């Protein structure tokens, strides 16, 4: 182990007091140029690296934000993270990403650690917003892409019911009357909301609720989408939906792939609508119709809200964005 050179070593080496070294580090303008040079030289020579723990202990505040992400492998969240980072960076803060990987246990561990680290603030897309007890522990927390049930935090979300409605209304207008909803588990608020939106669209169009076949999946990954595709094709053709609304682009991509493999064409045999409009949605060989969420803006807004928590007159706010339908080839009008 290195002997770990500290501020006092530098001070001694430069023939000044530690206070002066500290000043060079934090308020260079206050110390005489000659001294400053001498100190900087000593720092360089000894390879001194400031100890952030000590600094933070004394100062009481840190310079980092953290975003506990639900699934780092989902491009949607990395896009949100980009927005967060931009905003953080403008405020002179760094961003640490933590991946809960949809695991409540990991999520709790990370939250605990972040609280103990006294980060400036925590952004989180929680595994489960209901059971989520982000008890006020001194560190401000903002929920991302989830609505908070109790009013204990700020939150930034997108209207998922509206999103579901947009998607399914589009399918109905394209001539579909038997529609599948692919997504799950239904314990996830988002999935439920999007389904409810789908049902609302049916109601608006005067279609019966059983025009929607719900195929519940165990998760929101590509593989689940493939599985759903097989289930779908297995249905008797009289009852088989002619269109599918997926809770997620990953599911939609899996579904798409499964269709092609089974020799069915999209959108002719099955129209597909996804959700999130991740970059790969447009890049799919059958470009995917999808419900776009303002991803970067979601992150950016969340970060700004988080930073405003320090204002003395802060009140928790709940921002809700509107999603937008992006029509592409995967849902071309039915002939």
Q: Site residues (CB under 8 A) for its own copies?
A: 2, 4, 47, 49-57, 60, 62-64, 66, 72-73, 75, 78-79, 81-82, 85, 94-99, 101, 109-110, 113, 115-118, 135, 137-138, 222, 226, 253-254, 256-257, 260, 266, 279-280, 282-287
Q: Which of 37, 41, 44, 51 binds DNA (CB under 7 A)?
A: 51
Q: Which residue number, 15 or 175, has a Cβ lying nearer to DNA? A: 15
Residues near DNA (CB under 7 A), total? 29
Q: Report in angstroms how near the CB of residue 320 gets to DNA at its nearest.
A: 37
Q: Which residue number, 17 or 262, has a Cβ lying nearer to DNA? A: 17
Partner touching 162 among its own copies, DNA, none, CB below 5 to 8 Å by kind: none
Q: Which of 44, 45, 57, 314 binds DNA (CB under 7 A)?
A: 57
Q: Which of 1, 28, 30, 264 binds DNA (CB under 7 A)?
A: 30
Q: Report in angstroms how near the CB of residue 116 gets to DNA at its nearest.
A: 9
End-to-end C-alpha distance for the chain, whole angstroms? 73
Partner touching 209 among its own copies, DNA, none, CB below 5 to 8 Å by kind: none
* Binding segment (CB under 7 A) for DNA, from list 1-9, 151-159, 190-198, 237-245: 1-9
Q: Which residue number, 63 or 82, has a Cβ lying nearer to DNA? A: 63
Binding site for DNA (CB under 7 A): 4, 6-8, 15-23, 25-26, 30-32, 34-35, 48, 50-51, 54-55, 57-60
């Amino acid at each position: 182990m290195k002997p770990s050179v500290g501020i006092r070593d530098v001070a001694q080496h430069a023939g000044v007091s530690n206070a002066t070294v500290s000043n060079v580090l934090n308020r260079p303008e206050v110390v005489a140029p000659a001294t400053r040079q001498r100190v900087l030289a000593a720092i360089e020579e000894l390879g001194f690296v400031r100890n952030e723990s000590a600094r933070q202990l004394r100062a009481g505040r840190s310079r980092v934000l953290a975003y506990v992400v639900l699934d780092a492998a989902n491009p949607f969240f990395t896009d949100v993270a980009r927005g967060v980072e931009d905003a953080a960076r403008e405020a002179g803060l760094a961003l640490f990403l933590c991946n809960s990987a949809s695991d409540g246990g990991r999520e709790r561990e990370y939250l605990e650690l972040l609280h103990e680290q006294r980060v400036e603030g925590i952004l989180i897309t929680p595994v489960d917003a209901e059971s989520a007890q982000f008890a006020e522990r001194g560190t401000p927390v903002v929920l991302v892409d989830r609505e908070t049930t109790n009013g204990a935090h700020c939150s930034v979300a997108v209207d998922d019911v509206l999103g579901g409605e947009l998607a399914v209304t589009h399918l109905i207008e394209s001539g579909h009357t038997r529609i599948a909803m692919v997504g799950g588990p239904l314990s996830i608020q988002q999935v439920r909301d999007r389904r409810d939106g789908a049902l609302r669209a049916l109601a608006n169009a005067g279609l019966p609720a059983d025009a929607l076949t719900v195929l519940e999946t165990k998760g929101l990954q590509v593989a689940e989408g493939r599985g759903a595709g097989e289930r779908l094709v297995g249905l008797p053709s009289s009852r088989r939906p002619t269109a599918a609304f997926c809770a997620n682009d990953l599911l939609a991509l899996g579904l798409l792939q499964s269709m092609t493999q089974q020799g069915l064409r999209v959108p002719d045999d099955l129209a597909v609508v996804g959700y999130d409009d991740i970059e790969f949605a447009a890049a799919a060989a059958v470009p995917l119709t999808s419900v776009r969420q303002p991803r970067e803006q979601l992150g950016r807004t969340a970060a700004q809200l988080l930073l405003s928590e320090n204002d003395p007159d802060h009140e928790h706010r709940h921002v809700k964005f509107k999603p937008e339908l992006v029509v592409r080839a995967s849902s071309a009008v039915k002939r």
